Chain A
Amino acid sequence: MSPFRVPGRGRIDPDRPVAFTFDGKRVEGYAGDTVASALLAQGRHLMGRSFKYHRPRGPVTAGSEEPNALIGTRRGPGRFEPNTRATMQEIWPGLAAESQNRFPDLRFDIGAVNDAAHKVLSAGFYYKTFMWPRGFWDKVYEPVIRAAAGLGKAPSERDPDRYAARYLHTDVLVVGGGPAGLAAARVAAEAGQRVTLVDEHAEIGGTLLSEPQARIDGQAAWDWLAAERDALAGLGVRIMTRTTAIGYYHQNMVGLCERLTDHLETLPEDMPRERLWRVRAARVILAQGALEKPLVFHGNDRPGVMLAGSAQTYLNRFGVRVGDRAAVVTSHDSAYHAAFDLHDAGSAISAIVDVRTAPEADLLAEAERRGIAVLAGHSVTGTAGRLRIASVEVAATGGTGPARKIACDALLISGGWTPSLHLFSHTKGSLAWDAERQTFLPDRITEACHIAGAGRGFWGIGAALRDGAAMGAAAVAALGGEAGARDFEVAADRAGSGESRTELPRGRAAGKSRAFVDFQNDVTAKDLRLAVKEGMRSIEHVKRYTTNGMATDQGKMSNINGLNITAEALGRAAPEVGLTTFRPPYTPTTFGAFAGYHRGDHFEVTRKTPIDGWAEENGAVFEPVGQWRRARYFPQGDEDMDAAVSRECRATRASLGIFDASTLGKIEIVGPDAAEFMNRMYTNPWTKLAPGRARYGLLLGDDGFIRDDGVIGRLADDRFHVTTTTGGAARVLNMMEDYLQTEWPDLKVWLTSTTEQWAVIAVNGPNARKLIAPFVEGADLTPEALPHMSVVACRFDGLPCRLFRLSFTGELGFEINVPARHGRAVWEKLMAAGADYDITPYGTETMHVLRAEKGFIIVGQDTDGTVTPYDAGMGWAVGKNKADFVGMRALMRPDLIAAERKHLVGLLTEDGTTKLEEGAQIVLDPDQPRPMTMLGHVTSSYRSDAMGRPIALAVVMGGRDRMGEIVHIPMEGGSVSATITAPSFYDPENERLKL
């Protein structure tokens, strides 16, 4: 056992040694140790280098608020986590930990040259310096200075771990498993509530883990804790350890991050590394205790300087003395107890320096009994020691006597305690200054929550237990239950009191003092004063100018000290200056935890058609369309997209193409008022459309702009089969429901999404009818009986079928709707039967080309939410004698009928070979000065196999009056000229539909 480990002390398991590495060197600790406690047990405080000045640093805390001891942890390839708090990371056999922000090594770091340059690196340095000269940005600032600052390196490999998520509903959520939280949970659970208790540490207990001397109701603290844990479990309380409440959101939703594997030697199969819980609690009890504040003085950041309460934790929870010879400087009683415990465990205490003039008599007596010198009314004016504190310089605050040096290898500091109200702050709950306790306490509560224990300024185990029980009872009462208050008998309690200070009196000029306030961001008291001197008045400005409290610890330790120093510099009282806001997450949280299951194949919902499996097996290249993945093209051999699309287009026009159109939105509109509803929704007239016929429908918004389109078949007088665009299906249904429910609730008509009821197979090409004829029963497929734009209910290969004759390609076309489960089987039968016709499956890219050759628009590609039916050249689709339809009134607004509106036109490049860029702007004169006057832009552009040249659609200002004019499209590599044409290129007379 190392000399700093105290046998029989702490909660580590001395029978289970655990070896890990730090910077490649083997370190031995015990089960129950953190990286920090194991290193401290080796007498080692130096664990990292600071962010800006690369100053050597060691842990100042024993918890999640740690600003200094940030390390990288590794578990094989991909499993690297930077900025891990050494004070929280439990050790396991094989853990590889490494220090950060140093080169070549932790003891000798070249970056420490920044420390010598600290005078130029003061507050606002970036704002002042990086302004000029401009050329320095690329060559000096960015690569050199910025690279020297920073914390851990982000991993570059893929994270092989899994992350999980869960929702949880509970009556009472207790955050914090210390005395207050334990008491609250017990009371609530005994009253029959569903209780969840969370704690960020490996075990519950909080302060009790660091104060085993206390006796609760006659039991030793740890025995009481063990019994209480069993009692809670017996009452069905869900106890979650290694679980951090990271954020408190609206209406009592609390986010929890549960760490499941970071402490394990071997990873159990299927176990996620972390799990994010979204907890909805009827009542929340925040029992997060208080955080100890450091004192601010010159050289307060040397390794070996540590919060007194944390030193006590290392001793009592981990059995580690943080030094052989410790000095103490404090403004609070609690540090005395840390000193006494350390003394009693065998360390020498060289002095207790109390900045207060009159410490409590019983503390002085206890010190005297141990032979510890107490220097009341004294202050620390500096420290010495390069990689570890070696001495502390002390002087009377009156300023008369000379400073004297006291040798030490650890310096315990305490500036009092700050209630941990970060989560409360997330709720926008307000804080009020409590003069007696010298701290901010919760004031206005906005959520259904209670704050218990030290969070309300109740110091000491007894007070926390009693308040916890009271708040537990209050939560029960708020839920309509009954629970009484509870008392606890606590002996050897250490409540104490103290004072809140600004920077301690200095032994040197203010400008020479390097008294750190924010350890993680390297902000000093001088920086804060400089910010005020340079005109910052608001605490929010001071924070941003100096970056005080903006590091990953969000100023857990620095906030109040920063405020006190700023207020002093402003000559105002701290409560008047006010606090900055804490925001989620409480402690840094991995991206993995937030992503949860949503990564890789499960990243987001990917909708797949019944025929998707066939496409995948047959080499389709997919593209996302809305939430769907659709086959884009089916390459053969080493075809690229252009070659495949060209082949697919050619085959479809020459003989037969087959296309999975299942993603098309389908809405069944049924009821006696179905036709009336259709009249009001779509621009077209529907009353006279006979059952069995279909029509192209255009849907506008009430602003007159095109929202969607699709072919609509009338199945019966009271039943329409509406199709929508793939991406528009949900939106269109929502819009229809909106009008139906809120504008025309009297109409007797109902809407049902049938998108997924039907698999839809489109067959197009001169041989389409020949292909399907043998499968169809109960329908006459002759052009006379089933003309273009018609629909018939029949049987297809024995299955119920809605067979549409329509065409989005310009070829003879049918869309076969069969019940979805049969989609793939029917597709495969058609593929087999189509062999005679060289049947060719095609994807969305070919579909786009074929329709563009015909000038059919794609809503959302050729329209952008500012295109009217007239702009698109589709005035023919607008019913002229209708009383109302959505968008009708807007189409009469002057702006929507102006002559200079952009019209949909065709574009053919002059050279006949250049394919225009979609989205490219169109100008009349390519040589005009910039900024050029833009007439419109290219909306669709393809190589057309049928036309033997590229074709494009575009919207051009006054385009229909510019037929034949030459326009210019500036593209990369020069301007391209093109002729404006009608937006229809192939078979404009629709001869090919007359089959």
Chain B
Amino acid sequence: MTISPSTLVPGIIAASDAATVTMAEPVARFSLRAHAAERETVGGALGLDLPTQVGHVAGDEIEALCLGPDEWLIVAPEGLAERIARTEIDAAHSLTEITDRELTFRIDGPRATELLTTGWPRDPDSIAPGQGRRTYFDGASVIVWRDGPEEWRMDVWRSFAPHVVSLLATGCAELVAG
């Protein structure tokens, strides 16, 4: 299967009775960085209480996932991108837009979690619903979000997406076959 990033468009990518893989509509994404001393100020400017535990998520319309001790992934509806980029933040930090860096795929269905085990060395049960992690899937650095027991999101760097999607699509069909 030859897939190019430019041919991936939002919508269902692969589906079976076991799981469905859907490419999500674009969202605004930022990488936010700040040291512990500035965390509250920086978060406050964005209206967020930035979580300190890796994997935890905070926020509502604008969500922040803690990826590392000084790193958060900010996700928001596309329309808010400009506003976020222009936020006045009176403390040392880095806010860098990465909206187009990744594509997001939703993976859900009765055996969505099992589908992920085709390329994911980590124990899926180590991530509680409502959490996320940066991790490794079949050769690619990805961010997974667990939205429910069998509902996942995976952010994949655009150039890796054809590779990752091809495995997920293969797995979707294979899970049904046995």
Chain A directly contacts chain B within the complex, with at least one CB pair under 8 Å: yes
Q: Which of A167, A260, A823 contacts B120 (CB 8 A)?
A: A167
> Is B70 at the interface (CB under 8 A from chain A)?
yes
Determine the chain A residues whose CB is within 8 A of the CB of B117 once the complex forms: 166-168
Minimum CB–CB distance from A491 to chain B (whole Å) comes to: 39
Which of the 9-residue segments A296-304, A449-457, A596-604, A859-867 touches chain B? Answer: A596-604
Which of the 9-residue segments B49-57, B143-151, B169-177 touches chain A? Answer: B169-177
Determine the chain A residues whose CB is within 8 A of the CB of B157 once the complex forms: 756
Asked whether A601 and B166 contact (CB < 8 A) given A169-B125, A757-B101, the answer is yes
User: Are B100 and A756 touching (Cβ within 8 A)?
Assistant: yes
User: Are A616 and B31 touching (Cβ within 8 A)?
Assistant: no
Determine the chain A residues whose CB is within 8 A of the CB of B100 once the complex forms: 756-758, 819-821
Which of the 9-residue segments A421-429, A436-444, A665-673, A932-940 touches chain B? Answer: A665-673
Asked whether A280 and B123 contact (CB < 8 A) given A605-B160, A609-B159, the answer is yes
Minimum CB–CB distance from B102 to chain A (whole Å) comes to: 7
Asked whether A606 and B6 contact (CB < 8 A) given A268-B178, A820-B101, the answer is no
Minimum CB–CB distance from B157 to chain A (whole Å) comes to: 5
> Is A943 at the interface (CB under 8 A from chain B)?
no
Q: Which of B115-160 contact A (CB under 8 A)?
A: 117-125, 138-140, 157-160
> Is A613 at the interface (CB under 8 A from chain B)?
yes
User: Are B94 and A610 touching (Cβ within 8 A)?
Assistant: no
User: Are A608 and B176 touching (Cβ within 8 A)?
Assistant: no
Cα A602 to Cα B118 in complex, Å, equals 13
Cα A169 to Cα B124 in complex, Å, equals 9
> Is B97 at the interface (CB under 8 A from chain A)?
yes
> Is A923 at the interface (CB under 8 A from chain B)?
no
Cα A824 to Cα B7 in complex, Å, equals 10
Cα A602 to Cα B7 in complex, Å, equals 18
Determine the chain B residues whose CB is within 8 A of the CB of A670 once the complex forms: 33, 94-96
> Is A753 at the interface (CB under 8 A from chain B)?
yes
Q: Which of A166, A611, A750, A755 contacts B6 (CB 8 A)?
A: A611
Asked whether A754 and B177 contact (CB < 8 A) given A607-B159, A616-B2, the answer is no
Determine the chain A residues whose CB is within 8 A of the CB of B26 once the complex forms: 821
Asked whether A606 and B162 contact (CB < 8 A) given A167-B120, A169-B125, A270-B176, the answer is yes
> Is A125 at the interface (CB under 8 A from chain B)?
no
> Is A749 at the interface (CB under 8 A from chain B)?
yes
Asked whether A605 and B70 contact (CB < 8 A) given A268-B178, A614-B6, the answer is no
User: Are B33 and A752 touching (Cβ within 8 A)?
Assistant: yes
Determine the chain B residues whose CB is within 8 A of the CB of A270 once the complex forms: 173-174, 176-177
Main secondary structure of the interface of B (DSSP, over half): mixed
Cα A605 to Cα B161 in complex, Å, equals 10
Determine the chain A residues whose CB is within 8 A of the CB of B31 once the complex forms: 752
User: Are B118 and A608 touching (Cβ within 8 A)?
Assistant: no
Cα A754 to Cα B102 in complex, Å, equals 10
Cα A628 to Cα B7 in complex, Å, equals 17
Determine the chain A residues whose CB is within 8 A of the CB of B95 once the complex forms: 670
Cα A824 to Cα B100 in complex, Å, equals 13
Determine the chain B residues whose CB is within 8 A of the CB of A79 once the complex forms: none
A655-680 toward B: CB 8 Å interface, digit per residue (1/0)?
A: 00000000000001011100000000
Cα A705 to Cα B11 in complex, Å, equals 48
Cα A634 to Cα B51 in complex, Å, equals 50
Determine the chain A residues whose CB is within 8 A of the CB of B93 once the complex forms: 671, 750
User: Are A610 and B101 touching (Cβ within 8 A)?
Assistant: no
Determine the chain B residues whose CB is within 8 A of the CB of A899 once the complex forms: none
- Nearest-CB residue, chain A, relative to B33: A750
User: Are B160 and A602 touching (Cβ within 8 A)?
Assistant: no
> Is A164 at the interface (CB under 8 A from chain B)?
yes
Q: Which of B1, B71, B98, B173 contacts A601 (CB 8 A)?
A: B1
> Is B92 at the interface (CB under 8 A from chain A)?
yes
User: Are B177 and A271 touching (Cβ within 8 A)?
Assistant: yes
Cα A611 to Cα B158 in complex, Å, equals 12
User: Are A605 and B139 touching (Cβ within 8 A)?
Assistant: yes
Cα A421 to Cα B33 in complex, Å, equals 52
- Nearest-CB residue, chain B, relative to A260: B178
> Is B167 at the interface (CB under 8 A from chain A)?
yes
Minimum CB–CB distance from B77 to chain A (whole Å) comes to: 16
Minimum CB–CB distance from B15 to chain A (whole Å) comes to: 13
Determine the chain B residues whose CB is within 8 A of the CB of A756 once the complex forms: 100-102, 157-159
Determine the chain B residues whose CB is within 8 A of the CB of A628 once the complex forms: 159
- Nearest-CB residue, chain B, relative to A745: B35
> Is A278 at the interface (CB under 8 A from chain B)?
yes
Asked whether A819 and B94 contact (CB < 8 A) given A169-B123, A270-B173, the answer is no
Determine the chain B residues whose CB is within 8 A of the CB of A749 once the complex forms: 94
A725-756 toward B: CB 8 Å interface, digit per residue (1/0)?
A: 00000000000000000000000111011111
Minimum CB–CB distance from B144 to chain A (whole Å) comes to: 14
Determine the chain B residues whose CB is within 8 A of the CB of A269 once the complex forms: 173, 177
User: Are B140 and A605 touching (Cβ within 8 A)?
Assistant: yes
Determine the chain A residues whose CB is within 8 A of the CB of B70 once the complex forms: 750
User: Are A597 and B178 touching (Cβ within 8 A)?
Assistant: no
Determine the chain B residues whose CB is within 8 A of the CB of A819 once the complex forms: 99-100
Q: Which of A601, A607, A671, A758 contacts B92 (CB 8 A)?
A: A671
User: Are B98 and A757 touching (Cβ within 8 A)?
Assistant: yes
User: Are A612 and B4 touching (Cβ within 8 A)?
Assistant: yes
Cα A271 to Cα B170 in complex, Å, equals 10
Determine the chain B residues whose CB is within 8 A of the CB of A752 once the complex forms: 31, 33, 94, 96, 98
A599-640 toward B: CB 8 Å interface, digit per residue (1/0)?
A: 001101111111111101000000000001000000000000
Cα A271 to Cα B118 in complex, Å, equals 14
- Nearest-CB residue, chain B, relative to A170: B123
Cα A605 to Cα B163 in complex, Å, equals 6
> Is A177 at the interface (CB under 8 A from chain B)?
no
A130-168 toward B: CB 8 Å interface, digit per residue (1/0)?
A: 000000000000000000000000000000001011111
Determine the chain A residues whose CB is within 8 A of the CB of B47 once the complex forms: none
> Is B5 at the interface (CB under 8 A from chain A)?
yes
Determine the chain A residues whose CB is within 8 A of the CB of B99 once the complex forms: 757, 819
Determine the chain B residues whose CB is within 8 A of the CB of A63 once the complex forms: none
> Is A272 at the interface (CB under 8 A from chain B)?
yes
Asked whether A166 and B160 contact (CB < 8 A) given A270-B177, A611-B6, the answer is no
A231-269 toward B: CB 8 Å interface, digit per residue (1/0)?
A: 000000000000000000000000000001000000011
Residue of B122, B125, B138 with highest tally of chain A CB at under 10 A: B138
Residue of B26, B98, B100 with highest tally of chain A CB at under 10 A: B100
B9-34 toward A: CB 8 Å interface, digit per residue (1/0)?
A: 00000000000000000100001010
A-B contact pairs, 29 of them (CB 8 A): A166-B117, A167-B117, A167-B120, A167-B121, A169-B125, A270-B173, A270-B176, A278-B121, A280-B123, A601-B1, A602-B166, A602-B170, A608-B3, A608-B4, A608-B159, A609-B5, A613-B4, A668-B94, A670-B95, A752-B98, A754-B98, A754-B101, A756-B100, A756-B158, A757-B99, A820-B101, A820-B158, A823-B6, A824-B6
Other A-B pairs beyond A162-B174, A749-B94, A757-B101, 10, CB < 8 Å:
A167-B122, A260-B178, A270-B174, A608-B159, A614-B6, A616-B2, A628-B159, A752-B94, A756-B157, A758-B100
- Residues of B at the A interface (CB closer than 8 Å) are 1-7, 26, 31, 33, 35, 70-71, 92-102, 117-125, 138-140, 157-160, 162-163, 166-167, 170, 173-174, 176-178
Which 6 pairs across A and B sit closest by C-beta, in order of nearness? A613-B4, A750-B33, A607-B159, A750-B94, A670-B94, A270-B177
